[in-house]
Amino acid sequence: MDTAPASDRPGDQRQKDHPSYTEVQTSAEFGELRGAHRSFAFPLTVAFISWYLLYVLLSNYAGGFMGTKVVGNINVALVFGLAQFLTTFLIAWWYSRHAAAKLDPRAEAIKARLEGEA
């Protein structure tokens, strides 16, 4: 049985030297990371949902417009539908670049500090 005071036990000093998750979460560094993510993700999410709802609303209420032939048997509805897929892939690519450039380095710095590497 370990009779050493709690402060002298191995591992306890390590906990004192490293910030807790709560401390990290309230830090300015983490706030900047969260802000960088939110400033990118929220507006883009709102824009994409609006774009998708426009497609749905036009499909329901503007059948004549959506049925307009563009080329051969390809109509506006098909073009808009395919554009939904294209938009999804573009957003995923754009977010990947944003995360690699702005989010990942900040997250790695926080992780290193939390794990005691920095």
Domain spans, the chain: 24-115
Confidence of residue 23 (pLDDT cuts 50, 70, 90): confident
Region 85-90 average pLDDT: 97
Confidence category of residue 85, pLDDT binned at 50, 70, 90? very high
Residue position matching structure tokens 């609006």: 50
Burial (0-12, 13-18, 19+ Cβ within 10 Å), 76? middle
Q: In this prediction, what percent of the chain has a pLDDT beyond 70?
A: 82
CA dihedral (37, 39, 95, 100) positive or negative: negative
Counting Cα atoms < 13 Å in the Cβ hemisphere of 19 gives: 16
The pLDDT score that the predictor gives to residue 36 is 95
Helix (H, G, I), strand (E, B) or coil at 112: helix
According to the model, what pLDDT value does residue 25 have?
Answer: 85
pLDDT at 45: 96
Q: What sign results for the dihedral spanned by CA atoms 16, 19, 21, 27? A: positive
pLDDT surpasses 60 at 62: yes
pLDDT band with cut points at 50, 70 and 90 for residue 21: confident
